[in-house]
A and B are shown apart, each in its own frame.
Chain A
């Protein structure tokens, strides 16, 4: 079974530029998550989708971050404009549903460096 796919793996941009990340979850998984992991810290949830609806985006900086999951499968996360503090690894995860018993499986992440 294929795992969670993410691209690109690495991205370097200058501050105030825009960037987009792509995620393809495990086939059949209804729930998709985007996490931000700053160096030396644990991942922090940015947004959670159930199919193509948002379940939780309470920690998403909505003035510069946006995410969508059209058709309930692939998802994109965008940052516009980027700030230095956005340098981090952006992890995508998926689970069968949003129940407490559903384990989240993670992709390899996209490492973003903002100069």
Chain B
């Protein structure tokens, strides 16, 4: 069975600091997809990024970057130069390929508090 673990329950930073969120996953599939979602206080889950298991290239998109390492089953997410608007709960999620379709398994979430 697939599982996603976010060990950090809450992170507090001061504005402009970088913040890195850890995500470790378990799956038996060789084809799978990893996601990060943001949940601001309004409650809506906002899609941020998606990565497939065949592409370990790390990328940067604006102030977001991610580090995917298959060898350690980790998919970490970094916010550079954090802003108050980044305060939210961030969820890592996994979907397996094949017959499982795109069923998402979420981690428990990491609450990020950015102080001015």
Contact = CB atoms under 8 A, between A and B. Distances in A.
A45 B104 contact: yes
Given A42-B107, A42-B108, A107 B44 contact: yes
Interface residues of A, number: 27
B98 to A, nearest CB: 8
A107 B46 CA distance: 9
Interface stretch (A17-25, A71-79, A96-104): A96-104
Interface of B: 4, 31-33, 35, 37, 42-47, 50, 52, 91, 93, 95-98, 100-104, 106-109
Interface of A: 31, 40-45, 48, 55-56, 89, 91, 93, 95, 98-109, 111
Closest 7 CB pairs of A and B: A42-B106, A106-B45, A98-B101, A100-B97, A108-B44, A109-B43, A100-B102
